[in-house]
Amino acid sequence: MSNHTDRNRSGHILWNVAIVVALVAALGLFISNRQLAGTLAQLDQRDQQQIATLQQNLAQSNAAAQKSVDALALQAQDTAEQTAARAKQDLRRTSASLSAALTKQQQDAEQQQQQLTGQLTDLQQANTTAAAKIGEISDNVTGVKSDVASTQSELAKTGNDLKRVMGDMGVMSGLVATNSTQLNALKELGDRDYVEFDLKRTAGRQKVGDMQLILAKADPKHNRFTLQVLADDKTVEKRDRSINEPVQLYLAGNRQPEEIVVNEVKKDEVVGYVSIPKIKMARR
């Protein structure tokens, strides 16, 4: 009986201990839950604060971004307006330049046309004048041909009277003229140059062509004369020569002699000419 009672008592003690343990465990669990709930509440409050802060920052960022966008839009609008204004101004300048250039080209074209019209008028007048002059020249040529034919006839007739005679140096002379008509005929032939002279004894030295002549003596009764000829820095006397006789003299650098012909002897005066070769050829 005693043993049975002890076992019952022991069972009650263990049961009480189990209950106490259970209560302690439940209390610990309750405390842990309360602490966890507080922690969760703190975490939730902190998250909400961070979310609110993020939302506020996002709102501020959106506002700033909207301001930037508005500013950029306004700036873009101003830039577009300025660009359009500059484009219009450049277009007006370009149009003015093109208009001025076109006006200048039109003026130049009109001026050139006027010049061409004037030149055409001048050319037509020149053609008319030239045609008239050609007609005059044709008439003149006809007259000249007639004069030339007449002159050639006279020269042919006069040439028959011209003669070649031996000069005072033993050289056959060219054709010798005895009067002014024959001398003109010689000039027309053009074989030589002819310089006429009228030499007076009282006049002293006289230049004729490329020589100087001095009349030393004139004898009209016998048609004779004496000359002093200065050429090539030397003096040669041609004594007692007769009229129409070629008085010949070689000058330096000349293959053919120059000829002095006196056609008329007067008192203290002789009249004649000097015949000068056109081609200067040195003697061999």
pLDDT, tens digit, for every residue of 135-151? Answer: 675 666 456 455 544 54
Largest CA distance in the chain: 232
Strand partners, 212: 207, 230
Cα angle, residue 241 at apex, residues 240 and 245 outer, rounded to 5°: 170
pLDDT tens profile 30-40: 887 778 778 77
- Residue entry with tokens 């070689």: 250
The stretch 102-112 carries a mean pLDDT of 79
Measured distance CA(170)–CA(167) in Å, rounded? 5
CB 172 within 8 Å of CB 164: yes
What is the pLDDT of the chain when averaged over all its residues?
81
- Residue entry with tokens 């230049």: 207
pLDDT tens profile 61-84: 778 878 886 887 788 677 768 877
Domain ranges of the chain: 30-125, 163-277
